Amino acid sequence: MRLRMSILAVWALLAAFLLAPAALAQLRRNPAGPRAGRPPGPGAGLGPGLAIIDRLERMTPEERRRVLDRLPPERKKLVEERLKQFSQLPPEERARLRRRLERFQQLPPEQQEAARSTFLRFRRFPEDRRKLLTGEFQQLRRMDEPGRRSRISSDEFRSKYTPAEQQLLQDLSKLAVAPNP
């Protein structure tokens, strides 16, 4: 259950900040944030996504509401839900998600775009298939390269997943060649 929550939290965090360009643009336009003039917080010097997370976490509820009110209603609701889920995670889990986002931000832009595209394809699958795909992905990412190739070319893998799901899992495996701590 905890692993499932961790995986869902990573996807949720990425969804909130990769798919909410208006919120990102707003926070980037005002890099000091609504707390301008106050000393920098612990997120100073981080990449833009991490700095935005940090900035949103440090805002008062009123400041956060003003920023989020500028978003379209659906996007605002999504970001609020994701922020709530993120804030309810244990501190060690939030730290792990921050490390993952930091690694993502260190990828070249074309790899970041490939990750976004793959994530969007993943989100198009029904919930029951996403759960199955998530479990398979976790197994694949724990394998070394020959083990992944063997699994992906196995008859069991081919019969269990549609061609689109197989391609998605292959693409995810290319993005995550090493397990994340």
The DSSP-derived string for 121-156 is: HHHTS-HHHHHHHHHHHHHHHTS-HHHHHHHHTSHH
Boundary-marking domain end, from 56, 82, 106: 106
Q: What pLDDT was estimated at residue 140?
A: 93
15 with 83, same domain?
yes
Boundary-marking domain end, from 60, 91, 106: 106
101 with 158, same domain?
no
70 with 13, same domain?
yes
The DSSP-derived string for 64-82 is: HHHHHTTS-HHHHHHHHHH
114 with 180, same domain?
yes
CB 139 within 8 A of CB 131: no
- Other beta carbons within 10 angstroms of residue 10's beta carbon come to 18
125 with 101, same domain?
no
- Percent residues over pLDDT 90 in the chain: 33
What domain count does the chain have? Answer: 2
Q: What's the predicted TM-score (pTM) here?
A: 0.57
The arithmetic mean of pLDDT across residues 165-177, rounded, is 85
Boundary-marking domain end, from 50, 74, 106: 106
102 with 147, same domain?
no
Q: Which helix (H) or strand (E) holds 26?
A: helix 21-29
6 with 86, same domain?
yes
Q: Which domain holds residue 145?
A: 108-181
Q: Which helix (H) or strand (E) holds 52?
A: helix 48-58
Q: What pLDDT was estimated at residue 18?
A: 43
Place 104 in a pLDDT band, splitting at 50, 70 and 90: confident
119 with 51, same domain?
no
86 with 116, same domain?
no
Q: What pLDDT was estimated at residue 166?
A: 96
Q: Which tens digits make up the pLDDT trace of 25-52?
A: 444 444 444 444 443 333 333 445 566 7
95 with 113, same domain?
no
